[in-house]
Amino acid sequence: MSILNPSKETHMELSLTDLRRPIQLPYHTLSQKHHVSYTMKNATHFLTWFQEHYQEFAGILFDIDGTIVRTKTPIEGAKAVLEFVESCQLPYIFLTNDACHSRQEKSSYLQTAGLPVTAEHIVSAGDALKLFGQQQQLQNE
């Protein structure tokens, strides 16, 4: 899971007693916006921390395969994190490097796993490649 920071960053390390290990928190000294990148086995610990700090963030990115969902099962607390992010009206997207399945198929996969995620909230490696091609005007080449 990553939390977006649109500005340039420096790094600090923050240990939280409710987490099993320290997380690396880059921050910008002017904006105090954070970028958190942390792979979790249990999202409940992240949620406890995030509920206190969510107002400091511009948005959140979730990685799908092997992170928020493992073997078709969401990690513990994943649904609660998503519900909290939605209730805060914080922008979020789910990222996947799976270019073999459409965003609709990934959405169905997440919904089957118990996470109410729409296709509009999913960005795949294929989407990024398509956008790059459009920006470079490579449609017919």
30: pLDDT strictly greater than 70:
no
For residue 29, the model assigns a pLDDT of: 33
Share of the chain above pLDDT 70, in %: 69
Residue 88 belongs to a domain: yes
The mean pLDDT of 116-126, rounded to a whole number, is 90
Written in H, E and C, the secondary structure of 7-38 is: CCCEEEEECCCCCCCCEEEEECCCCCCECCEC
What is the CA 89 to chain-centroid distance, rounded?
14
More confident residue, 25 or 78: 78
For residue 79, the model assigns a pLDDT of: 93
Q: At 113, which amino acid appears?
A: A
- Those residues with Cβ within 8 angstroms of residue 70's Cβ, 6 or more apart along the chain or in another chain: none
Handedness of CA 87, 93, 98, 99 (dihedral sign): positive
For residue 107, the model assigns a pLDDT of: 94
State the total domains in the chain. 1
- Those residues with Cβ within 8 angstroms of residue 36's Cβ, 6 or more apart along the chain or in another chain: 1, 2, 3, 23, 25
- For tokens 């490579």, what's the residue? 138
Residue 111 belongs to a domain: yes
Residue pair 80/109 in contact (Cβ under 8 Å)? The answer is no
Q: How many CB atoms lie within 10 A of CB 83?
A: 13
124: pLDDT strictly greater than 80:
yes
Residues 43-93 pLDDT 10s: 888 888 889 888 888 888 888 888 888 888 888 889 999 999 999 998 888
Range of the domain at 122: 2-135
For residue 39, the model assigns a pLDDT of: 52
The mean pLDDT of 123-128, rounded to a whole number, is 85
Residue 141 belongs to a domain: no
Residue 23 belongs to a domain: yes
Residues 79-105 pLDDT 10s: 999 999 999 998 888 989 888 889 999
CATH of the domain at 105: 3.40.50
Residue 140 belongs to a domain: no
